[in-house]
Amino acid sequence: MKLRLMDFGALTADEGWVFEAGGVSTHSDTNPASPRRDYHMSGAMIEHPKHGLILYEIGPAPNWEELWPPPVKEVFGITRYTDENRLDNILKQAGYSVNDVKGIIIGHMHLDHAGGLEFFRGLDVPVYVHEDEIKYSFYAIATKQDFGAYLPHYIDSAFNFKPVFGDECELFEGITLYKTPGHTPGTMSLRAELSSGENFLFTSDTMFFKENYFDEQPTGWLTRDMGGWWKSLAKLKIIADRHNCQVILGHDGDIFKEHLGKVYT
């Protein structure tokens, strides 16, 4: 099995979305600055010896500028996305095309992680998503609740969605999925165990940045279930400890850059 990271660019947004009480005023600082931060967008390309090319999270749609509603672009606008960040070009660099992809695993169905399904329109590639996330994302579109984080262009029954059930599932040999809710009801983290014995744990947006995971700083306005988040944090730490994992967080560019450009086997 070979594993490498994919770089889908970055968006820039207020820190309050990812850190509880980010920019909050206090008695001694009544009007603090509300800092902004780059949210790196990334995914993983896994070449599996039995199941072929598998992707974990696929970034935004290439034509996001026309598909994302103006309020979403105002709050979470993408500030870095060039031809190099397009999924089809990333696959080409590795010697593949979108037609070679045998499976797509989506950690959660937000627009910056699953919008790249647009590259697979008309193809019948299986898209593995947790049962709870499939249900919630279609519900969010139908009711306009959480609209903006989920968009109808890719939450579309034309795609070949395959539900993943339960708290833990070894989908393919060496690829284990864990339900880790908090940010969304059905976010799935992924652990890849390579033949070298090295383990990678991808948290999707259950953990956005180093501060969330390593300093246990709770997530901000993007959290849908705070109690669930604390349980997921504890679960992820046990998994990471048990398997001595390299942990890759949803939007942390510093950790991402340590691994970008390397091929792990």
Using CB under 5 A as the criterion, which residues of the chain lie in contact with Zn ion when the complex forms? 112, 205
What is the closest distance, in whole angstroms, from the C-beta atom of residue 204 to Zn ion in the complex?
Answer: 8
Could you tell me the two tokens for 130? Answer: 């947790």
Report the 10 Å Cβ neighbour count for 124: 7
CB neighbour list of residue 74: distance below 8 Å, 6 or more residues apart: none
- Which ranges constitute the DSSP H helices of the chain? 64-67, 70-76, 87-93, 111-114, 131-143, 210-213, 226-243, 253-259
| Contact status, residue 87 vs residue 8, Cβ threshold 8 Å | yes
Chain-centre distance of CA 18, in angstroms?
A: 14
**Which one, 1 or 255, has the nearer CB to Zn ion?**
255
* Spatial separation of the C-alpha atoms in residues 148 and 175, rounded to whole Å: 30
What is the closest distance, in whole angstroms, from the C-beta atom of residue 135 to Zn ion in the complex?
Answer: 20
For tokens 């008309």, name the residue: 122
**Which one, 59 or 174, has the nearer CB to Zn ion?**
59
What is the closest distance, in whole angstroms, from the C-beta atom of residue 61 to Zn ion in the complex?
Answer: 14
| Contact status, residue 179 vs residue 185, Cβ threshold 8 Å | no
**Which one, 76 or 120, has the nearer CB to Zn ion?**
76
What is the closest distance, in whole angstroms, from the C-beta atom of residue 110 to Zn ion in the complex?
Answer: 5
**Which one, 57 or 193, has the nearer CB to Zn ion?**
57
What is the closest distance, in whole angstroms, from the C-beta atom of residue 78 to Zn ion in the complex?
Answer: 11
**Which one, 7 or 112, has the nearer CB to Zn ion?**
112
